[in-house]
Every structure is written in C-alpha cells, then in structure tokens.
Structure 1
C-alpha cells in the first residue's frame, strides 16, 4: 500500500513537472513546428511516393529491420556512418539476389532474423490481412521483396525513397530543430525530465 502511494505521488509530481514545461510559452512554437513537419511528411508520402501511409510504415518497418541488422556490432565490421555508406549498403541489399542474412554474413553479423508479416503486424498494430495485402502490393511495385525463406526485405525501388525522400526529410527535421533552438524550446526540452 505504501509503495503504491509513493509510486502515485511520484507519478503526479512528474506529470506536474511535465505540465509546467508544456505550459511555458515556447511550447506553442514547438507544437506548431512539429505539426507542420508531420503534415508535410504525411503529404510528401502520398504525393512524392504515391503510396498510402500504412504502406509507407510497412516499408519503414522493413528498412528499420535491415538497419538494425546493419548496425549489429561485429569484430571485423566497419560501422556504416555516412549517408553515402548507407546508400551503398541499401543498393547492395536491394539489388542482391541473396537475402540480407547472406549479405550480412560477409560482415560477420550473427543472429539475423527474417522479417515476417506477423512481425510487421506486431510492430505497426495493423491487421494481418492488411499487412499481407499491402506487402504484396509493395512487392509488385518493387519497393519490397519477399520469400518464404528470406522473409520481407527492401526491394530495388527502395533506393528512390532513400535517395529522394530521406534527404528532404532530414532537411525538414533540421529546419524544425533550428526553429525550436531559436525559440529556446529545444534547450528546455533537452534539459527536461520528460
């Protein structure tokens, strides 16, 4: 009982500190810039990539899975750090007939797990049938590739997303962060206990 009260008090205190931070003047600027970023991002997915947002999230989940495996530590593996290095790795993966596991074996990365429709469902919260249908559509567009043995991987057309969409997104993030910094909100957010 005492532990529950202590936990509840800490929770209320933390919420109060958060409320104080969010109630400060720069928060309106932070929210405004954030909302503009999200709206622009969402609109660019539909306009530039010509796919719906759920399909984009499935692609990003697949890319995230590949990035996780690329970033696994290994004694002989050199870190993939720059945009150019990552672009080269995506090209190797997207254009390879091999699975990502076979590509990563050359980098001495162990414990590769294949990405499945069920895994994507768990991460995204999307229904299994929706994910299956959208993965099939994305495979037809060559944005993804899929097989029983190799799982779901990025396809050859993913390089369009990486080379055209990612740089614009990075610039938009920098623009948003600079606006936050100019208003003083970035420093407050970084130094807060949110």
Structure 2
C-alpha cells in the first residue's frame, strides 16, 4: 500500500497538506452592525486591565496580559499603563477574578484613563494525543471609560503545532487580532 501511495504521489501530497490543518479563526470590529472601526490615537493614555480567565488553566490570563502589553507597545501605544497587580492573600481573592476587575476599573477611573484594554482567555491548553498541540482562545476589547461603551473588539482561536508552546500560539493569535486595531499617530 505504501508503495502505491509513494508512486502515485499521494503520500507526498498528504505530507504537505496535513501540517496545514492548524486552525485559526478570528473576527474583529465594533459590536454595532454596520459600524466602522475607529482609528485610535496612539498618543492617548491606555490602561491594560486584568483579563478574565475562563479557561481551565490557572494564570492563563496573566500570561496573555504580559504578551499583550508587549505587543501593544510594539504597535505604538507608548502610553500604556498596566494595572498594578494586587497581592492575593486569601483563596477567595484568587478565585474572585471579578473583584480584581472591579478594583482595576476603580483604579483606571481615578487615574483618568480614557481607553481601557481588557478581554478574556477562553482556552489555554494542550490537546491530548501524541503531539499535544496547543490550543488558545482569546477575546480582546477596548472600552471608552467616558462613554461607557465598547469601541473595538476582536476574538479568535488558534491551535498550534505539536511541541509548540501555548505562549507562542497566543503570541501569533494576538498579533493577528491586533492587526485590525487602527492607530492614528497624528491625533
């Protein structure tokens, strides 16, 4: 059987096509139908709030926040301020991510940040099997603190290659999601 596949070229075609079976899906834009993406000023002050971790992996949101902060700064957001991490002294503090988010909103309000970057991590795991491919799902959004509305949102999921780190897959997904974020350097 292998000789037939080898001679007919099917084995070579399978070897070329199967690695391309990595899945990625992403969508972005405003939540309002028909609305266009707004160009954000790179000179404005942005606050990176904690992301909500709804995956089954502890500390996944913190990992994404670190990568996201670096990518946003590389994209041109020099005035990106990260919410200072509060020490979690009890198990209730660790489990109540909503409390940390509310404290971060209060912090951003006191500091008068107009744009708030936040989101959630829906998936951060390695698939079972021989290769254990990483699978990552992330949602991002930018909120206007004065108008109290979502200005931009993007969501996506991606699986990587076997033996690839989940952080690398997340980095690639975040890069793709942030490609739809338009920055205006002249504002």
Q: Which TM-score applies when normalising by structure 2?
A: 0.29
Q: TM-score, normalised by structure 1?
A: 0.28
Name the structure where strand makes up a greater proportion of residues. 2
